[in-house]
Chains A and B, each alone.
Chain A
Amino acid sequence: EADIYQTPRYLVIGTGKKITLECSQTMGHDKMYWYQQDPGMELHLIHYSYGVNSTEKGDLSSESTVSRIRTEHFPLTLESARPSHTSQYLCASSGGTLYNSPLHFGNGTRLTVT
């Protein structure tokens, strides 16, 4: 298994709360990604980063924000959670040329907003 860690694994939270999903990797990878995945469905890229202080929005519109202050850390924040945010969030990293190297995934955070 890759050395990329996500916390928490499960989160149940009420509407309107602010939440931060944590993602850290110990591989020194410069590229990191956040994907959203509904059960049994494909992955959608919501944010990615080429390195420190570099962040970009992905293909799927998301109300979340990310930051990349340290190479190893790529947290995702939802300022005001809504039931539509209920999903699994997967963090990944890679060390090679953009999209030409394998991605290493964490085990995900399953978020439920009530």
Chain B
Amino acid sequence: SQQGEEDPQALSIQEGENATMNCSYKTSINNLQWYRQNSGRGLVHLILIRSNEREKHSGRLRVTLDTSKKSSSLLITASRAADTASYFCASGPTSGSRLTFGEGTQLTVNP
């Protein structure tokens, strides 16, 4: 399986509900990043959490990191139709190598 797997692959919710997406990775990381991609566009950086952090907030976004389980979650609270997009996690290695992206979660927020 891929480094940076995301779960679920697709999520459909109603406006106002919370959306939770999970990401797992395989190797030791320096940081874990989350990005959003609207259909047909490039990725937009949302939040970066370092390996020594457990939780981080930015507006309606809350990211957690559990390095013992090699997993992270992204919570979007009070979702809006405009949050409809694909969400990717990307793991930043401790040394050398490449930023590895997951397969993404397609979030649909219905008005």
Contacts and interface: CB of A to CB of B under 8 A. Distances in A.
Interface of A: 1-2, 4, 6, 35, 40-43, 45, 48, 58-59, 90, 92, 99-108, 110
B30 A40 contact: no
Interface residues of B, number: 26
Given A45-B99, A100-B31, A102-B48, A108 B106 contact: no
Interface stretch (B14-22, B38-46, B56-64, B69-77): B38-46
B99 A103 contact: yes
A58 B101 CA distance: 13
B53 to A, nearest CB: 13
B92 A99 contact: yes
Interface of B: 2, 4, 30-31, 33, 35, 40-45, 48, 86, 88, 90, 92-93, 97-99, 101-104, 106
Contact of B88 (A43, A59, A99, A108): A43
A104 B35 CA distance: 10
B101 A100 contact: no
Nearest to B10: A40
B43 A103 contact: yes
A105 B98 contact: no
